[in-house]
Amino acid sequence: MEQVSHASSITPVQNASIPLEQQREDFKKIRFIAMPLAGTVVWALLGISAPFVSELTITWLLYIGTGAIFYLGAGLSYLTGERFFAKKAAKNSFDRLFFVGMIMSLMVFAIALPVAAIDHTTVPLSIGILAGLMWMPLSWAIEHWIGYFHTLTRTFGIVAAWYLFPDARVEAISAVIVAVYIVSLITLERRFQSIKSN
C-alpha cells in the first residue's frame, strides 16, 4: 500500500526485549490511512488528466505521480497522526516486515520497465498491480482482511480494465484503484476508531 516504516531511536537490542506479540499489538494500533490517502489523490489526478495529455506525457506522469505517493503520504502522516518520521516512535519488527514487503514489490519494476519499453500501455497495468502487492503483508501483520481485499480486488480489477478499455486504460485503471482505495480507507478508519473505543 503504499505505507512506510515508523523509524525510532530504540536500538535493536531494546527491540529484542519486546515480545513479538506485543510489537504486533502496537503495530495494529496505527491508523494506516496516510499512504492510501496519498494514493487516492495521485491516482484520481492521473485518471482525470489522462484524456487531456499525450500518451508520452501520461506515461511520464504515471512514473512521477506514483513515485510521489510516498512523499505525499509522509506529509499527510503528520495530519493523520501517524507521523512517519517521529523520533519518539518505537522500532517494531512489523514495520520492518512491511518495509521488506514494500522493497519486494518494488523489485517487480525489474520486469515492468523492460516490458514498458516494448509497450508503454502496460505502465498503468504493471505499476497499478505492483504498488498494490504490499497490502498483503500488511493484512497479515494487522490480522485484518482489508489488505487481502485491496490486493486481490485491485489486481483483478486492473487486469479487467486493461482488457475491457483499450482506448482508455489509464482512466479505467485509475478508477478501479481509486474505488478500491476508498473502500480501504473507510474500512481502515472504522477499524482504527473501533480500536480507539476499546
Taking every pair of Cα atoms in the chain, the longest distance, rounded to a whole number of angstroms, is: 56
The predicted-structure confidence for 56-89, as pLDDT tens digits, reads as follows: 999 999 999 998 998 999 999 999 998 887 665 5
Give the integer Cα–Cα distance in Å for 171 and 66.
15
- 178-193 pLDDT per residue, tens: 999 999 999 999 999 9
pTM equals: 0.86
* Assigned domain for 3 exists: no
pLDDT at 2 over 70: no
Residue 103 lies in a domain: yes
The whole-angstrom separation of Cα 150 and Cα 180 is 6
Domain annotation covers residue 55:
yes
Does pLDDT of 8 surpass 70? no
What total of structural domains would you count in the chain? 1
**Mean pLDDT, the chain, whole residue set:** 88
**Structural domain contains residue 139:** yes
Residue 193 to residue 157: CA distance in whole angstroms: 29
Nearest alpha carbon to residue 69 among 85, 45, 104: 45
Quick: pLDDT tens for 75-131: 999 999 988 876 655 678 887 887 888 788 888 888 888 998 899 899 999 999 999
Q: Is residue 115 part of a domain?
A: yes
Q: Is residue 136 part of a domain?
A: yes
The predicted-structure confidence for 19-41, as pLDDT tens digits, reads as follows 888 888 988 999 999 999 999 99
| Residue 2 falls inside a structural domain | no
In a domain, 87, yes or no: no
